[in-house]
Amino acid sequence: MRGYVSTAFGCPFEGAVPVERVVDVSRAFLEMGAYEVAISDTIGIAHPGQVRRVLTSLVAELPPEQIALHFHDTRGTALANVLESLDFGVRTFDASAGGLGGCPYAPGATGNLAAEDLIYMLDGLGLATRVAIDAVSAASTAIEPQLSHPLPSRYVRARAATAARARA
């Protein structure tokens, strides 16, 4: 089982979440048998400074290989948050095709971290993802016409623009 610590970086109802509470809940999940805890930015407000504070406390108590991170990209900081997390040894990140998703409690939420954007950055850093970015991008592009809005993935947007330029 994987445990999710939701609203770890801020709650739409209670506001700031004490780092100690995130650590306590994470530790409890592992004691109950979870193989991993996903520290979640459910409403998309995390920034690298918060990520640093939370992970400094978490990795003092838990091995980084048992920590995953779940970032929404509402404020455009998801990739910066991943980059900050890498320095702490975290290597597991949730992402969704094209950046699908969102949160009903976060007005203006744009969705989860786009898988293509994450893969592009990690590949560029020389970190093996073993994921075919073009295949994920093609799947996202196939999904997009079924939605009432464009996908927020920057990689998908850039890939479409490059393909359109090549056809012109």
Nearest to 114 by CA among 76, 163, 67: 76
Q: What is the pLDDT of residues 106-163, one digit of tens each?
A: 766 678 999 999 999 999 999 988 899 999 999 999 998 998 888 889 999 998 888 8
103 is catalytic: yes
Predicted structure pTM score = 0.92
Q: Where are the beta strands (DSSP E) in the chain?
A: 2-5, 36-41, 67-71, 92-94
Catalytic residue among 8, 103, 122, 156: 103
Q: Tokens for 121?
A: 């950055």
Q: Which residues of 102-126 are buried (b: 16+ CB within 10 A; e: fewer)?
A: bbeebeebbbbbbbbbbbbbbeeee
Q: What is the pLDDT of residues 45-61, one digit of tens each?
A: 999 999 999 999 999 99
Domain range annotation of the chain: 2-167
Whether the CB-CB separation of 151 and 99 falls below 8 Å is answered with yes
Q: How far apart are CA 143 and CA 116, in angstroms?
A: 14
Domain spanning 2-167: which CATH class is it, in words?
A: alpha beta
